[in-house]
Amino acid sequence: MDYRLTPRKITTEFTERYLGTENVFIKTCITLFKYPEDVINGYITGQRKKYVNVINFFFISLTLFGIHIFVLKNFYPELLGFDNISSNEKNAQEYLSYLYDYMGLLTSIFIPFYALTGWVTFYKRSYNFVEHLVLFGYVFGLINLVTVLLTPVIIMTSMNYFQMSSILSVFSFILIGWYYKRIFKLSFWKTVWKTILMTFLYFIVQSVITLIIGIIVIAGIVIFYPDLLEGININLNGTQL
């Protein structure tokens, strides 16, 4: 029997597992909405064939999210706010373009901080920090997929992407609460209280991390790119108030 890997074999395996009769990917998505504890607890306890594992699930969602941003950026730039930037503001355009190119990656960086605040909030529960990482890997993977599925809605309604982000923030809050309710068997009000507490702690951690990163960036500019500060100073002095 030939065990050599070929592009055809890899394509066939991927198609059967994720798009074909097994429909593991679609099954994982549906179960994450209805019974998230089955997917998450199953992965944690070693049952990893029934559903897509968290790493694959997250990276598939991240790839699709990247395609989503590519389509909007290249064909509907006005929905991302590029129409509000004049052609003279080249630096602002480049910054916004860079931000969208790496939005998925930047969001991923904050997953450990969500896991940390979740672990602190539910420190009496059975989940450790790494298991909270698994939980939020699935959460943000699903949020990425929902964002991708909303692409036609964004285009047809000409909804500003920042407005859509606000809606998705509310959805994220509800989804996180739903996951904790299902996994830890919480009452409705305890779910609300714990989710609010976790969100509050997260924003504190995020603010501190953002401040530290900002200080590092400014220090780097001062040390390595002092000419940039001089250019900013010239622009400020030339501005008429």
DSSP sequence for 92-119? HHHHHHHHHHTHHHHHHHTHHHHHHHHH
To the nearest 10°, report the CA torsion of 63, 183, 120, 171: 50
How many other β-carbons are positioned within 10 Å of the β-carbon of residue 138?
26
Q: 19 in a domain, yes or no?
A: yes
Q: 147 in a domain, yes or no?
A: yes
Q: 2 in a domain, yes or no?
A: no
Counting the structural domains of the chain, the total is 1
- CB contact burial 186-195 (16+ within 10 A = b; e otherwise): beeeebeebb
Check residue 160 and give its pLDDT.
Answer: 78
User: What value does the mean pLDDT of the chain take?
Assistant: 83
Q: 113 in a domain, yes or no?
A: yes
The boundaries of the domain holding residue 23 are: 7-237
Nearest residue to 61 via CA among 1, 129, 107: 107
Could you tell me the pLDDT band of residue 34, with boundaries at 50, 70 and 90? Answer: very high
Q: 16 in a domain, yes or no?
A: yes
Rounded Cα distance, 145 and 67, in Å? 11
Average pLDDT over residues 26-54: 92
Q: 1 in a domain, yes or no?
A: no
Residue 219 has pLDDT above 60, yes or no: yes
Q: 148 in a domain, yes or no?
A: yes
- CB contact burial 207-219 (16+ within 10 A = b; e otherwise): eeeeeeeeeeeee
Residue 231 has pLDDT above 80, yes or no: no
Q: 88 in a domain, yes or no?
A: yes
Q: pTM, whole model, 2 decimals?
A: 0.80
Which amino acid, 13?
Answer: E
Average pLDDT over residues 170-185: 95
Residue 177 has pLDDT above 80, yes or no: yes
Reported as a single tens digit per residue, the pLDDT across 114-167 is: 999 999 999 888 899 999 999 999 999 999 999 999 988 888 888 877 788 889
